[in-house]
Amino acid sequence: MKVTPPRGHWDHLRPSSQKLRWLSYLGLTLCVVLAPARTANGQMFVEDWGYRMIREYTTSGVVIRSPLVTFPSGPAGPVGLSLDGAGNIFCGDGNAGVVRKYTTARATVNNLFITGVGHPYEVLCDGSGRLYVADAQNCRVGVYDTTTGAALNASLIQWTSSPMAMTLDDSGYLFVGFADNTIREYDAATGTPLASPLISGLNSPRGLAYDGNGHLFVGNWDGGTVGKYTTSGETINAALISGLVNVTDLAFDAYGHLFVADWRTGRISEYTAAGQVINPNVLTLSSHISSLVIVVPEPSVMSLALLAGVLLLGRRHRTRIPI
């Protein structure tokens, strides 16, 4: 129903008020002037296997910095990418058996940040100083300090199959995709199994993403599909997205759009959470994409200016508020 404010509720805000008019225009002007266009709904960080580098784009596929970071010479196989929200980039190197650390300002912090990892296939920051590393060779997931690289527990999770993908939900649960075609759920702090398996019958799960609304999205390498499930393990649609070749990673932007990286085609595509195509070719590389991360911007002055402008304009025109 609609509630109409009593007569006189808005009378002190007259449409002709010069002060209110200028405040409205100021709010909207600040929105335009301060808006960081390149981060409107997130920045994409793309791990390029063939050229051994990290590239940075807008979620529309516009180049920001390419390359952002280049791996050192020698054996290098970049796979696994994560950012901690403090300007640090963590990259797994499957061929060298190390995790490297850089900054978004293009500085090298440590090319040997974590060593002794058989084959790091995925890395994942939790935003609280912990970095999870999936070691495919030793069939384990370890957790490390994001500042020092010290092992907090090098064998937090041990299984009989290789971990290939990871994601965290907002309740402190870690979901891991294994080469035995399962997704298993663990307590992220202790490594205690909670559902093992949670989902089975997959087709080499290499991409795994949580949407913030109780859903897991699983990218299948061999099947070229993306499936949608609940965090309780119920299947919503095992082939929500199809027609891909080798799915390597998944990521969500600020609008809840799903971005899918395809290794074979070197392409990133954009979809709704319902699986509808938004953009089949956000960008295409002449190489292979091994990992994809989208960093969603925090609320900024731009957001506050927009809100202020909208509210002031609404009041200026005596807008009734539907409830």
**50 SS3 class:** coil
Q: What's the confidence (pLDDT) of residue 42?
A: 86
Residue 43 lies inside a defined structural domain of this protein: yes
Residue 17 lies inside a defined structural domain of this protein: no
pLDDT digits (tens, 9 = 90+) for 218-244: 999 998 999 999 999 999 999 999 999
pLDDT digits (tens, 9 = 90+) for 260-314: 999 999 999 999 999 999 999 999 999 999 999 999 887 654 454 455 554 444 4
pLDDT digits (tens, 9 = 90+) for 34-86: 444 445 678 999 999 999 999 999 999 999 999 999 999 877 789 999 999 89
Residue 166 lies inside a defined structural domain of this protein: yes
* pTM: predicted TM-score of the whole model, two decimal places: 0.83
Residue 304 lies inside a defined structural domain of this protein: no
Structural element, H or E, at residue 66: strand 63-70
Which of the pair, 310 or 3, is modelled with greater confidence? 310
Residue 164 lies inside a defined structural domain of this protein: yes
Q: What's the confidence (pLDDT) of residue 39?
A: 54
Domain CATH code at residue 165 = 2.120.10.30
Cα dist from 252 to 3, 190, 223, 256, whole Å: 37, 27, 21, 6
Residue 19: pLDDT above 90?
no
Gyration radius of the chain over CA positions = 23
**DSSP label at residue 322:** B
CA gap 286, 220 in Å, rounded: 22
CA gap 94, 191 in Å, rounded: 23
CA gap 265, 245 in Å, rounded: 7
Residue 162: pLDDT above 60?
yes
Which of the pair, 72 or 7, is modelled with greater confidence? 72
pLDDT digits (tens, 9 = 90+) for 170-212: 999 999 999 999 999 999 999 999 998 999 999 999 999 999 9
Domain count, the chain: 1
In one letter, which amino acid is 268?
I
What is the average per-residue pLDDT within 159-171? Answer: 97
Q: What's the confidence (pLDDT) of residue 40?
A: 62
C-beta of residue 160 within 8 angstroms of C-beta of residue 154: no
CA gap 87, 102 in Å, rounded: 9
Give me the domain span that covers residue 172: 37-299
Residue 310 lies inside a defined structural domain of this protein: no
Q: What is the DSSP string of 171-231?
A: TSEEEEEETTTEEEEEETTT--EEEEEEE-S-S-EEEEEE-SSSEEEEEETTTTEEEEEET
Look up tokens 């960008």; give the residue: 283
pLDDT digits (tens, 9 = 90+) for 97-156: 999 999 999 999 999 999 999 999 999 999 999 999 999 999 999 999 999 999 999 999
Residue 19 lies inside a defined structural domain of this protein: no
Q: What's the confidence (pLDDT) of residue 76?
A: 77
C-beta of residue 76 within 8 angstroms of C-beta of residue 119: no
Residue 209 lies inside a defined structural domain of this protein: yes
Residue 21: pLDDT above 80?
no
CA gap 86, 127 in Å, rounded: 9
Q: What is the DSSP string of 73-128?
A: SSS--EEEEEE-SSSEEEEEETTTTEEEEEETTS-EEEEEEE---S-EEEEEE-SS
